[in-house]
Structure 1
Amino acid sequence: MIKKMLKIMFVMVLAISIGIPAAKASSTDMNSDKDPTLNTHDVEKAFSLAQDILTNYYQVTDIGTEEFAGKSFDTSLLDSELSKYVEQKIKTKQYVTKAGDAEKENYTLKFTVLSSEVTKKGVLLSISTEAAFNYVGLKVESGFGEISNMFFKDTGEGFTLTDWYMPYQYYDEFVRGVVDNSSQLFPNSISADSNFSTLADSNFSMLQEELHDNVVKNLFSTDQLAPEQESDSAEESTHETLSVSATLRSLNKQNIVTWARNNMVVNPKSGNGVVPYYDFSKINNAWDCTNFVSHALLAGGAVVYDTGGTGISSTGWYYRSTSNRSSSWTGVPNLHAFLTGNRTKGPAGTSITYRTFDWFGTRPYEAGDIMQFYLSGSYNNWRHSTIITEFYEVGSTPNHVGALVTGRSAAGSYNNNQKAHTIYEGDAKRVIKLSGYYN
């Protein structure tokens, strides 16, 4: 495919019309005899600074075309240790954009404050960034949503960004560890009373180098097979023990794709109008990606397999409530174990390592199949589930294609027809090719 580098229309859209959530004082402030030094005006000021920082960050990492070639990241608002961390992160992200043939055009950004908190030290913000674009040469609508948790410290002379963590982003999760999405904005050393100096006294720099090397080595690797995790825990495995006569029926994969495309951003609807949709990102230490995929399977015609268990069951595939469901409904490795082992009732499939392929040869997977992503390091397990929704031509080889995927982790955190190799770039990926469902 001949790629014509078009001039980028870079438009920043600010989501101010919905309003900034009212800032709340920390418990320390509320117990103090003095009123908090900062107020809602300071939240607005911090948000304005955050937009400048985030816009600059995405310009230099995500667009990667001639218009922004040579543009540097402005570190003037960042703590010195945070600057070092972010500059190394940008180096890796720029490599992925360039080497991964992921240059973008018609790029827009929208920022929304999800939550804010005022303390005596500064302002805590959780901000959703929604990006919409086309990959250069590809007319398919693409984009993503990412969440940034940012702390702006009041220095007396202005605000300085002293911490910045992006939950469910491969880079930060690999280097800094996985954090949950609870109401505490900044676990894992991110707090109002600390800054990024902890990075200087840790092995984070070494982990950053390790991650960069992994990405360079594995970005296009077709043999990144991660070890399967063995566990006796109901939350880590799902095994079928029943064997009854069942008929394998076809899934409507186009309906799976359509539902995923229509429900990735906010307030998803039930996949079949019967099983209610609950956003699992509202639960501490939980995210919504596999629940989203389960509802997409319902939209394709899959029937639930309720084994009648109580609590979180290790068998079947069903959802009755947050406390009464199968682990396969919401767990990444659990759904894989159920689908690849199921011969009784509900959806079923086979597992293969993700690879690109010749469109006119044997197609190993289709739109409507599932793709999952591995996270190595301290997590060392399968981390993210998505739906394959489109294809794109890889490099200069005619008819050689890769997958675009769509998924959802939380409100403000999603994948919208993203190139699979640019997600969890340095780790293994697998496809669950759906064979149908048993009834």
Structure 2
Amino acid sequence: MPDIIPYDRAAAVAYAHQWAYSRNPAFFDYEEIGGDCTNFASQCLYAGTGVMNFTPTYGWYYIDPNQKAPAWTGVEYFYRFLTRPETNPGPFGMVAALEQLEPGDFAQFRFQKEVFGHTPIIVEIGDPPTLENTLIAAHSYDADYRPLSTYFFQEIRFLHVLGAYPPERRPSESENNRPGPFRF
């Protein structure tokens, strides 16, 4: 089992507050072509983990607007990547109840369609947590400190981030050429 990188929740939430009402120029704004919510959620998650997974198609990464994994911007793909059973590089988590959430976790909404369509980041949680005192930041209807209770949805699910698996370490050239302890 690889080491687990702790999720820096404070960094993820600080990033969410900083960019809730604007756009980080290092990332493309997908607002006009389907929405920017999961792109923003991924940026926040990356701010808290610092690890991407560059596996084509099934990874979670952003290089530029045309070189990104579906999980970076797609609600359902983000969910599938975060809850994957494999221990490959990148953040991972689990489906959770409202009571298990912490700032830096995520909510996902299903509105009138069959699929989930929005991914805000949780920035503050009351005690005990309710939909009224659980506050989010989001793009695509930009918001910060917005109560979950102000959304009209058919279903909501929550994703609790557990940490990140480190990037794969590749041996350096000198390590590849170094003799092992039992070489003859």
User: Scaled by the length of structure 1, what TM-score is found?
Assistant: 0.35
1:115-194 correspondence to structure 2 within 5 Å: none
Q: Structure 1 residue 436 and structure 2 residue 179: aligned?
A: no
Which residue is equivalent to 2:171?
none
Q: Cα offset for 1:297?
A: 1.1
Residue 96 of structure 2 aligns to which amino acid in structure 1? I
- The answer to which structure has the higher strand fraction is 1
Partner of 1:375: 111
Verify: 1:291 aligned to 2:18, yes or no.
no
**Counterpart of 2:59 in 1: which secondary structure?**
coil
Retained in 2: the 8 A contact 1:389–1:404? yes
CA-atom RMSD in angstroms: 1.6
Distance in 1 between residues matched to 2:12 and 2:154, nearest whole Å: 26
Structure 1 residue 389 displacement after superposition:
0.4
Alignment of 1:217-232 (within 5 A): none
2:154 to 427, 435, 438: 427
Can you list the C-alpha shifts for 1:154-187, whole angstroms capped at 9, x where unaligned?
xxxxxxxxxxxxxxxxxxxxxxxxxxxxxxxxxx
Q: 1:386 aligns with which of 120, 130, 151?
A: 120
Rounded Cα–Cα distance in structure 2 between residues aligned with 1:329 and 1:343: 18
| Aligned equivalents of 2:6, 2:163: Cα separation in 1 | 5
Distance in 2 (alpha carbons) for counterparts of 1:373 and 1:421 = 12
- Equivalent in the alignment of 1:42: none
User: Would you say 1:301 and 2:39 are equivalent positions?
Assistant: no
> Partners in 2 of 1:427 and 1:421 — Cα distance?
12
2:138 to 388, 397, 407: 407
* Counterpart mapping for 1:181-330 below 5 A: 245-268=1-24, 276-283=26-33, 286-307=34-55, 309=56, 313=57, 315-330=58-73
The reply to whether residue 365 of structure 1 matches residue 101 of structure 2 is yes
Residue aligned with 1:292, SS: helix
Give distance in 2, aligned partners of 1:294 and 1:405: 14
Counterpart Cα distance in 2 of 1:302 and 1:370: 17
Contact 1:246 1:345 in 2 (8 A): no
Cα distance change, pair 255–408 in 1 and its aligned pair in 2 (3 A):
same
Matched with 2:175 is none
Paired position in structure 1 for 2:177 = none
CA distance, structure 1, for counterparts of residue 95 and residue 50 of structure 2: 18
For the 8 Å contact 1:289–1:385, the answer to whether it is kept is: yes
Q: TM-score, normalised by structure 2?
A: 0.82
Shift of 1:317: 0.5
**How far apart, in 1, do the equivalents of 2:114 and 2:2 lie?**
35
- Kept in 1: contact 2:27–2:65 (CA 8 A): no
The CA distance in 2 between the partners of 1:426 and 1:371, in whole Å, is 12
8 Å contact kept, 2:5–2:49: no
Number of the residue aligned with 1:351: 95
Residue 426 to residue 306, structure 1, CA distance change in 2 (3 Å): closer
Q: Which runs of 5+ in 1 are unaligned?
A: 1-244, 270-275, 358-363, 393-398
Q: CA deviation at 1:387?
A: 0.7
The alpha carbon displacement at 1:323 in A equals 2.4
In 2, the alpha carbon distance for the partners of 1:259 and 1:429 equals 23
CA drift at 1:322: 2.4
Equivalent residue pairs, number: 162
2:68 and 2:48 map into 1 onto residues whose CA distance is 20
> In structure 2, what residue type is equivalent to 1:391?
I
Flag the 1:391–1:282 CA change in 2: closer, same or farther, 3 A: same
